[in-house]
């Protein structure tokens, strides 16, 4: 017997009536983007959820000894194996249902990890879980560095950013490499669904969560997650910076469903990248006269990536006719 779960109505008035499944009392920094991301993901659905969580800011701050902010079954995994953990739980659940030892309650399986535990240290187990085809979703809250351990660079760190392991100074002007495009890498695994989202565009994010949960097989959701400590920004601008990331096309919102790419939010006016960079102290050095080349290079890269997305979307739109 399989339990039927009704879809949640994505209206603010209705969402406000629902039960929070990630609650107050956690020790995340004031203004952190990660708890906003988690609340939106869990709020988007009525399905029962079991989650694993890679070591990182979210994990160490949300479950301290006997105190927890999670109101769902939640497993703390090591830095590198959140995807392997939840894929094992999913496999065990399917086995118990098949053996008749457990009713199928339509449980959904989710792994949460920061960019360090996703792009880098956890990439092997994430890639393996996607390749094996587990019915699970991996959600990366991408704050662009190893924020939990001292703001070291990760492969998600954007070009030019000042971190503790690529400090802007006389030797180097911050990180000199472009960030890894993990969303496209995950889509290249041939999984049925991969997408990028932003907490500033909550309805787009929640619709993607709902769609992902209705798709059988592995899914990947990459969500930008401002960190005022690492970004050297104000404590109340997580949503504003998330919105600027979308409006400048630094963080385009799109989905890849069964290989076909669709841009889900197109800015009415594409803003210059400097509007996203300027409020962040980690990019302050890029505005010095001697570093103008960095602003130019960063803008050219974002423009090229955006044009590539537009062309790919146009191709798939034409192919579906």
What is the tens place of the pLDDT at every residue in 197-242? 999 999 999 999 999 999 999 999 999 999 999 999 999 999 999 9
Please state the pTM of the whole predicted model. Answer: 0.97
Sign of CA dihedral 274, 279, 285, 288: positive
Cβ contacts of 8-15, under 8 Å, gap ≥ 24: 8/43, 8/44, 8/45, 8/46, 8/210, 10/44, 10/203, 10/206, 10/207, 10/210, 15/43
DSSP 97: H
Residue 85, pLDDT score: 98
Q: What is the pLDDT of residues 101-129, one digit of tens each?
A: 999 999 999 999 999 999 999 999 999 99
Of residues 154, 62, 172, 167, the one with CA closest to residue 114: 154
- Span 294-307, average pLDDT: 98
Residue 257, pLDDT score: 98
Residue 86, pLDDT score: 98
pLDDT tier at 65, thresholds 50, 70, 90: confident
User: Are 270 and 309 within 8 A, CB to CB?
Assistant: no
Flag whether pLDDT at 84 surpasses 90: yes
Domains defined along the chain, listed by start: 12-319 (3.40.50.970)
pLDDT tier at 1, thresholds 50, 70, 90: low
d(CA 25, CA 262): 38
Flag whether pLDDT at 320 surpasses 90: no
Residue 111, pLDDT score: 98
Please report, for residues 38, 108, 134, 153, the alpha-carbon distance to residue 217 in angstroms, rounded to integers and kept in the order given. 21, 11, 5, 32
């Amino acid at each position: 017997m399989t339990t039927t779960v009704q879809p949640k109505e994505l209206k603010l008035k209705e969402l406000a009536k629902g039960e929070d499944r990630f609650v107050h009392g956690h020790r995340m920094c004031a203004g952190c983007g990660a708890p906003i991301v988690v609340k939106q993901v869990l709020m988007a659905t009525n399905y029962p959820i079991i989650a694993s969580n890679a070591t990182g800011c979210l994990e160490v701050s949300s479950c301290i000894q006997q105190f927890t902010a999670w109101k769902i079954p939640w497993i703390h995994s090591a830095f590198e194996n959140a995807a392997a953990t939840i894929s094992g739980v999913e496999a065990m659940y399917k086995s118990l249902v098949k053996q008749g030892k457990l009713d199928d309650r339509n449980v959904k399986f989710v792994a949460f990890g920061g960019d360090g535990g996703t792009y880098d240290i956890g990439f092997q187990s994430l890639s393996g879980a996607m390749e094996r085809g587990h019915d699970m979703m991996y959600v990366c809250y991408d704050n662009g560095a190893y924020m939990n351990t001292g703001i070291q660079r990760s492969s998600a760190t954007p070009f030019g950013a000042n971190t503790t392991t690529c400090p802007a100074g006389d030797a180097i002007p911050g990180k000199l490499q472009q960030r890894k495009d993990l969303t496209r890498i995950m889509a290249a695994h041939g999984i049925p669904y991969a997408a990028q989202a932003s907490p500033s565009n909550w309805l787009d994010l929640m619709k993607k969560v709902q769609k992902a949960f209705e798709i059988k097989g592995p899914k990947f959701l990459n969500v930008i997650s401002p960190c005022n400590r690492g970004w050297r920004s104000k404590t109340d601008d997580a949503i504003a910076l998330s919105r600027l990331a979308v409006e400048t096309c630094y963080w385009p919102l799109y989905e890849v469903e069964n290989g076909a790419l669709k841009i889900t939010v197109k800015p009415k006016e594409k803003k210059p990248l400097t509007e996203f960079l300027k409020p962040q102290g980690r990019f302050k050095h890029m505005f010095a006269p001697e570093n103008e080349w960095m602003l130019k290079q960063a803008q050219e890269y974002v423009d090229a990536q955006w044009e590539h997305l537009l062309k790919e979307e146009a191709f798939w739109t034409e192919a579906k006719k």
